[in-house]
Structure 1
């Protein structure tokens, strides 16, 4: 066999081996943060059950309680004068807080 053919075959074999290594099992995905786990009703938000948190301090546990109650897939806390995206997301619960961090409104979007 000529040296150029041997080099071509070795290069092809190396490429095939590298590609085969890439085709292994997918790496495990890290667990989603708790506030992004799916809600109990498939992720679509219903703000009515979340109204029970109005007047409470916006802690992580209260935010999660409201998210689960609403069935939303995610929740965000909106501070006074905070710039936010205006896109409507039916899977998101928005908790509006006042200057002291108390929840004043709970709505979907």
Structure 2
């Protein structure tokens, strides 16, 4: 291919990639807000292991852990593997008995 044909394609590609940059908008703060910076802490929730899972218990555990969200994971559930430091995971068995609690 000649340079005359390749150059416009390269320029277009560069322009498209420049639009994907993650630079902060002018005037936008780069500091995380208190809600974004909150991290889940499941250390104090280990006493829940062996208890029956209820919605009230899940809500209370989420608040106590300081988590933004909570999810109950059953043995055969398909789960996403991305780590979310603001999420509480409550693992239950088929009888809805809590087997483990962790963040992520």
- Scaled to the shorter chain, the TM-score interval is 0.5 to 0.7
| Residue deviations 1:30-66 (CA, integer Å, cap 9, x gap) | xxxxxxxxx8xx6310110121211111110010111
Structure 1 residue aligned with 2:54: 59
Query: Where in structure 1 are there 5+ consecutive unaligned residues?
Result: 1-38
Runs of 4+ in 1 over 6 A off after TM superposition: none
- Once superposed, what is the RMSD of the aligned Cα atoms? 1.8
Displacement of 1:70 in angstroms is: 0.9
Q: Write the distance in 1 (CA, Å) between the matches of 2:55 and 2:99.
A: 16
- Give the count of matched residue pairs: 70
Query: Where in structure 2 are there 5+ consecutive unaligned residues?
Result: 1-34
Q: Write out aligned runs for 1:2-17 (5 A).
A: none
Residue 102, structure 1, aligned to residue 88, structure 2? no
What TM-score, normalized to structure 2? 0.62
1:47 and 1:106 in contact (8 A); partners too: yes
Structure 1 residue aligned with 2:67: 72
Q: Write the distance in 1 (CA, Å) between the matches of 2:74 and 2:68.
A: 20
Residue 86, structure 1, aligned to residue 81, structure 2? yes
